[in-house]
Amino acid sequence: MSDNGGNFSNLNKYINEMMYDIIMSPNISRILTYTDSSMYGKEPPNSPFELLYKNVFPYGFIPDVQTEVGSYITIEFDDFRLSKNSEFKNGFVVVSTFCHADIVKTNYGSRLLLLYEEVDKLFNERKMGVGLLNFLTCKKIPTLKDPFYGHYLVYKLTDFNTKV
């Protein structure tokens, strides 16, 4: 594997850091682990790493058809483009958050809104690339099928366009 700092050399590092921060967040790990309405009244899971590739994915989909009641987060990068002077590349980090309709209602409000709040606390204005991630939009995920509902949160990412 080349170590010449190519155009996308840091993307795996960024996504791994984001996944780690998601599973290590006590509130997010509770939301993803417990399906009852009183998840904040419980201890965070002892093994948050078990959430990886079960509830948290480093790509924009869940590999298996989901019938299980649960909450999920996916992370992907999208739409990279060069700046006018080609010194930087601009793209987007897309964090999709969704859950089964049976568990949206909690003792603390909407599970979906709680997920959005916690994800945004972690990533809005977070140092990444050559600047900060900046929140751009939150939109309904149009491809989700009943009984799942959710939104994707989009953050702008700017990084160097290292010449190979």
CATH number reported for the structural domain that contains residue 74 in this entry: 3.30.70
In a domain, 34, yes or no: yes
Rounded to two decimals, what is the model's pTM?
Answer: 0.87
**For residue 4, is it within any domain?**
no
- 1 within some domain: no
Of 70, 67, 65, 77, nearest in space to 150 by CA = 70
Question: How many domains, the chain?
Answer: 1
Nearest to 149 by CA among 97, 94, 98: 98
Instruction: Note whether residue 96 is domain-resident.
Output: yes
Q: Is residue 38 part of a domain?
A: yes
- Report the alpha-carbon distance of residue 69 to residue 66 in Å, rounded: 8
**pLDDT, tens digit only, all 164 positions of the chain:** 344 444 667 788 889 999 999 999 999 999 999 999 999 999 999 999 999 999 999 987 776 666 789 999 999 988 777 767 666 677 889 999 999 999 999 999 999 999 999 999 999 988 887 788 999 999 999 888 889 999 999 998 876 666 54
Tell me, yes or no, whether 135 lies in a domain: yes
From the number of C-beta atoms within 10 Å of its C-beta (0-12, 13-18, 19+), residue 5 rates as: exposed
Give domain status of residue 3, yes or no.
Answer: no
């995920």: which residue's tokens?
141
**Cβ-count burial of 160 within 10 angstroms (0-12 exposed, 13-18 middle, 19+ buried)?**
middle
> Which long-range CB contacts under 8 A does 123-127 form with residues at least 24 apart?
123/18, 123/93, 123/95, 123/153, 123/155, 124/155
Q: Which domain holds residue 60?
A: 11-160
Give a yes or no: residue 6 inside a domain. Answer: no
